[in-house]
Structure 1
Amino acid sequence: MFSSFRGLPPVVWTVFAGTVVNRLGYLVTPFLVFFLATRGVTGTHVSYVLGALGAGNLLGPAVGGVLADRIGRRPTMLAGLVAASVGQGALFVAPGVATMAAAALLISAAGSMVSPAAYALLADAVDAEHRRRAYALFQWGVNIGTAVAGVLGGFLAARGYWLLFAVDAGSMLVFAAVVAFRLREHRPPTAFGAEGDGGAGGAKRKDGIGYGVVLRDRLGLALLPLFGVQLFVYSLTEVALPLAIHDSGLSPTVYGAMAALNAVMVVVLQPVVTARLARLPQLPVQCAGGVLIAVGVAMTGLANTVTGYAISVVVWSVGEVVVAGIAASVIANLAPAHARGRYQGAFGWTWGTARFGALTLGVGLYSGLGPGVLWWTALLAGIACSVATLAFHGRVARRMDHVLAA
């Protein structure tokens, strides 16, 4: 199974192992509403805490990308993991809604700082030709940990919510220890703020400390929203799928079974599919996977039985496996060496925006205009996004040729 990722350097495997451990502790968020109810937080007050959690996913990647380029990948990962661990403890002991919201903001903002730095670290350590496999392995680690956490969370919650917080905080500290003692910095030779072309092929200029280097890259700016649309469609599997299952008169255990089916498929198929597709051009594969995700999500609107929902899950799960690691790899290959953190920060912010959009716009369409509108929107937007992304294949290939020749 691991042969699909043979030849990747030790740093990639270290990040993979740490990510599995970290995601094993992804327990609090899925059970947060139930925990809040035990503390007497219900109704609109719950939305304040969940809103803070969502806002942190927008703030964290932007900050993490800058810090990854400014102070280094490892320090940024350490800061995010330790701060998120502190946030877990703060949320558990928080006395009121305001302090709970502040703790939730800290957890999500600090936790989402880690990925841009980790992606940049992997890009520093792996050449452009092998980044797709490195990022696919990273994503596989996320899925393995999340799959086990889904089972572990229910077991621990029945024995006390404090166990969820303890395992979450502990897993983050274990990953922090791995970062501190098992990883070394692979900083590119160009210092932060040094002269660079910003990946846009233009004149040399000073990058400064923010995201100007990303904003000047017209190819990157064109691709990020397209990746964001695909991520929005995929995020509907976490948001609108449980609503559809509920409205079909099925029990919550059906959604749990669908989540388990997705997890098993991804964990089993990821290495095989990655090996089979590794030599194919990235963007056409990304677009094909995007179409599968859009079709699978839209098929949710046709389902009203367990079998129907299972078929839709199978389709978009295959799409998820196909696209694994590609978008992050494309963004990493577009980035100049000294700005990889900020490019990954921009990608992470796009992911956070897509999830936030699914929670707001997606639920709004489902509840306000009807489920049919949402499923048709997902289908058409997903397919249109894939077609538009494919149009940039030539430009991305030329940029890649320039990177490999440099």
Structure 2
Amino acid sequence: MRTRVFAVVRDVPRTVRLLAFGAFLNGVVSFTFVFLFVYLTGPRGLPVPQAGVIAGVGGIGLVAGNFTGGWFGDHYGHRRMLLTGALVSGAALTTLPVLPVVAMYAVLPLAQYAAGVVRAANAALVAVSVPEGGRRQSFALMRAGSNAAFTVGPPLGALIAARFSYGPLFVADGLGTLLFAVYASKVLPARGTAHARPAHVPGAPGLRRELRARPAVPVLLVAILCVDFVYRQQYSTLPVFLADHGHGAQVYGWLLAINGGVILCLELPAAHALRRRAPLSIVGTGLLLVGLGYAVLIPGAGTLSAVTMMVSLTAGEVLYKTTATAYVADQAPLHAQGRFQSLYAGASISGQVLAPPLGGALYAAAPGLLWPACAVLAGGAGAAVLAAGRLRGPAGPPAAERTAAAERQAQPG
């Protein structure tokens, strides 16, 4: 297993390896997402509704940055947008501990919007740095760096907060983002690389026309938006559900540990092992597994069913997230690579804004309907993606077959 992982990493272009390392270092100190609500209701003394509004507008900014960052990258260069977004986000985050509460309504969405631009630029840089057929492994490595950072970061942040205070967490997050900008400026040279130049081509077909020519892509994007609402229930309504069934925070913590551990161990090898398989069949299967995971909770929440749910959910995540990102990149024309990645990035994080309020409202109104609704929504999304594999793209054959054929041609022997 270890030899295979090292082989996969070795086959990934150097630029992507350096970006993944930078994303890991920055992710270790990315404390804002984890501790913001606790900070607002604790040291800042805000009531829960007001803290929820501030965190919510920050989440809206993040989603908006993901949806629009690729447009800026296509027009002005993905490297330039990554550096600009990191500088703006880092500078804004360092000011959070000293800002008056009223200023947070403007500064936090700005910081999160810039962070969303960075996320979209990162994805686009990977897409333009790797030829079609090798992108799954590259995106898997980027996700491995982020997931490894998330494994280390929250416990470290909790230790700092307990020993000192919450304020230094946001300063560390901002400084880490600024250092990432400096690091990225060194590993992504401004001249002589494809990703340093804007890919916008005057007179090229617009985004809507390009999407109409690739009908499977809009189907996939809608499916990802739906399933992200389902997937992110694990961070909002799931811990409440577990508590209502007599399980404490320790059980929930162990479930998240299962999720992180399985992803770190299996995502890179799975991306390599399945690289010749038609991508939409892998994505569709992954979405079905997400739905199956939540269906397990319909009878109740015993320890075994909770663990089974998380294993199924994680297996689905391993299958669909990397493969879907690479599929969108493989389908995108060069002049719209950033916008295609932005659409996917925005859809893949939309649940961060939609899941807590919508899932919480449904759970409060009808607790017994939440998990059946999640299972049906994810199952329907998976079935739609599997069916989309038969849709024809711009080159004639089904998009899934075309991408799989390109991947087979890219492999030696």
TM-score, normalising length: structure 2? 0.88
Report the CA distance between 1:48 and its aligned residue.
1.6
| Aligned residue type for 2:75 | R
Match of 2:46 in 1: 41
Distance 1:302 1:102 in 2: 44
Distance 1:45 1:190 in 2: 41
Distance 1:324 1:291 in 2: 13
| Aligned residue type for 1:247 | D
Match of 1:186 in 2: 194
Question: Are 1:397 and 2:400 an aligned pair?
Answer: yes
Report the CA distance between 1:215 and its aligned residue.
5.4
Distance 1:359 1:161 in 2: 23
| Aligned residue type for 2:145 | G
Distance 2:305 2:142 in 1: 31
CA contact (8 A) 1:64 1:341 kept: yes
Q: 1:298 aligns with which of 283, 287, 295?
A: 295
Report the CA distance between 1:150 and its aligned residue.
2.4
Report the CA distance between 1:187 and its aligned residue.
3.5
Q: 1:27 aligns with which of 16, 26, 31?
A: 31
Q: 1:12 aligns with which of 2, 13, 16?
A: 16
Distance 1:332 1:8 in 2: 16
| Aligned residue type for 1:41 | L
CA contact (8 A) 2:69 2:118 kept: yes
CA contact (8 A) 1:121 1:186 kept: no
Partner SS for 1:129: coil
CA contact (8 A) 2:279 2:400 kept: no
| Aligned residue type for 2:132 | A
The range that moved more, 302-311 or 17-26, is 302-311
Partner SS for 2:221: helix
Match of 2:395 in 1: none
Distance 1:166 1:313 in 2: 34
Change (3 A) 1:168 1:306: farther
Mapping 1:368-387, distance limit 5 Å: 368-370=365-367, 372-387=368-383
Distance 1:67 1:280 in 2: 33
CA contact (8 A) 1:214 1:343 kept: no
- Give per-residue Cα distances to partners, 1:353-378, cap 9 Å, x unaligned: 333221222222111122x2111111
CA contact (8 A) 2:277 2:404 kept: no
Mapping 1:23-172, distance limit 5 Å: 23-37=27-41, 38-96=43-101, 98-159=102-163, 160-172=165-177
Mapping 1:170-319, distance limit 5 Å: 170-184=175-189, 185-187=193-195, 191-196=199-204, 205=205, 207=206, 211-212=207-208, 216-217=212-213, 219=215, 220-319=217-316
Change (3 A) 1:213 1:68: farther
Distance 2:401 2:296 in 1: 36
- Give per-residue Cα distances to partners, 1:272-313, cap 9 Å, x unaligned: 222222221111111111111111123234443444322221
Change (3 A) 1:306 1:255: same
Distance 2:404 2:266 in 1: 30
Distance 2:232 2:264 in 1: 19
Report the CA distance between 1:401 and its aligned residue.
7.8
| Aligned residue type for 1:366 | Y
Report the CA distance between 1:15 and its aligned residue.
1.0
Report the CA distance between 1:218 and its aligned residue.
5.3
The range that moved more, 295-304 or 266-275, is 295-304
Distance 1:270 1:9 in 2: 18
**Alignment: residue pair count:** 391
- Give per-residue Cα distances to partners, 1:18-48, cap 9 Å, x unaligned: 1111211121221112211211111321122
Match of 1:352 in 2: 349
Match of 1:201 in 2: none
TM-score, normalising length: structure 1? 0.90
- Give per-residue Cα distances to partners, 1:90-149, cap 9 Å, x unaligned: 2221112x2122222122111111122111111111111001111111111111111111
> Structure 2: which 5+ runs fail to align?
391-397
Change (3 A) 1:73 1:148: same
Q: CA RMSD in A?
A: 2.3
Q: Which runs of 4+ in 1 moved over 3 A?
A: 187-191, 211-218, 300-303, 305-308, 398-405
Report the CA distance between 1:212 and its aligned residue.
4.3
Report the CA distance between 1:389 and its aligned residue.
0.6
CA contact (8 A) 1:63 1:345 kept: yes
Change (3 A) 1:164 1:303: farther
**Percent of pairs with identical residues:** 27
Distance 1:101 1:79 in 2: 21
Change (3 A) 1:232 1:43: closer
